[in-house]
Amino acid sequence: MNVTRLAVLGVALLAGVGAFFMTMTGRRPSSVDVVQPLQEKTVRVLVADKDFQRGDRLGADATKWVDWPEKALSESYITEKSGGDPAELEKAVARASMVKGEPIIEAKIVRADSSGLLAAVLEPGMRAVTMRITPETGVSGFVLPGDRVDIFYSESAGTKTETELLFDNVRVLAINTVYTENPEAPVIEGANATIELSPADAEYFITARSSRGQMSFALRSVFTPTDEAANRRNQSVRVIRYGRS
């Protein structure tokens, strides 16, 4: 191969390489549309920052404001726009149990300027009445606020004692002045128990309380059906003591 042919091939090769680089550098990348994510509208909502039991105060360290999706907002939630004054809410009290992260609603709290706590935790149309209890009649202090009990009335005449069920499935509101459902306090030694009854039952209860007999609690299981032993007030039970009926 002579020198002339080699020179021609070299020039052709250089021209091809130059044309390739010119083509690559002259090509512009196609434009890419960047899609911005949609910003979801949120509302500042008050939520529990710990588990609340009935009667607990909503302190500043126990609640917090979080951004809540506006489309998932309920009218019952407390928001900054709906009157969520931190100073006022700090004095509020839980009317019912709440779990951490749960939005706080007006139905579950009692504000400082509203009626008393005990009146607030009463179910609509119900009444609160109080009876004296002892370790014997009060299940040794194991009856706590929030528990449900049956109330029996016993009266002795000579050697005979008759017992009847006055009320069944009654909610205990407070023991002494303790109205908080506190799972860390399994026993409360109290002298008075406040219970929740209908107006008619409250009248009957006060009449029985003023008589010579004795009323006692029987603690109900949390698994007991609510319709069990309905309306057995007038069914007397004969109790045998010391081998005599």
Q: Which residue has the higher pLDDT, 15 or 154?
A: 154
Q: Are 200 and 132 within one domain?
A: yes
Are 109 and 186 found together in one domain? no
Residues 85, 108 contacting (CB under 8 angstroms): no
In a domain, 146, yes or no: yes
In a domain? residue 11: no
pLDDT tens, residue by residue, 98-134: 999 999 888 888 876 666 667 777 888 999 999 999 8
Same domain, yes or no: 100 and 81: yes
Last residue of a domain, one of 73, 88, 114: 114
200 inside domain: yes
Instruction: Return mean pLDDT, the chain.
Output: 77
Q: What percent of the chain has pLDDT over 90?
A: 21
Tell whether 31 is covered by a domain: no
- Looking at residue 244, its pLDDT comes to 39
70 compared with 170, residue with greater pLDDT: 170
Q: Give me the domain span that covers residue 92.
A: 42-114
Condensed to tens digits (0 to 9), the pLDDT of residues 181-233 reads 655 556 677 789 999 999 999 999 999 998 888 999 999 998 856 555 444 44
The pLDDT tens digits of the residues spanning 147-171 come to: 899 999 999 888 888 999 999 999 9
What pLDDT, on the 0 to 100 scale, is given for residue 150?
94
Per-residue confidence (pLDDT) for residue 241, from 0 to 100: 39
Name the CA dihedral angle for 8, 10, 12, 18, rounded to a multiple of 10 degrees. Answer: -150
Same domain as 126, residue 110: no
Q: Is residue 165 part of a domain?
A: yes
User: Is residue 60, in this structure, part of any structural domain at all?
Assistant: yes
Q: How confident is the model at residue 243 (pLDDT cuts 50, 70, 90)?
A: very low
Q: What is the pLDDT of residues 218-230, one digit of tens each?
A: 999 988 565 554 4
Domain identity same for 102 and 202? no
Q: What is the 3-state secondary structure (H, E, C) of the chain?
A: CCHHHHHHHHHHHHHHHHHHHHHHHHCCCCCCCCCCCCCCCEEEEEEECCCECCCCECCCCCEEEEEEEHHHCCCCECECCCCCCHHHHCCCEECCCECCCCECEHHHEECCCCCCHHHHHCCCCCEEEEEECCCCCCHHHCCCCCCEEEEEEEEEECCEEEEEEEEEEEEEEEECCECCCCCCCCCCCCCEEEEEECHHHHHHHHHHHCCCCEEEEEECCCCCCCCCCCCCCCCEEEECECCEC
Domain match, 104 and 207 both: no
Q: What residues form DSSP beta bridges with 165?
A: 152
Q: With respect to residue 1, please indicate whether it lies within any of the assigned structural domains.
A: no
The reply to whether 131 and 109 lie within a common domain is no
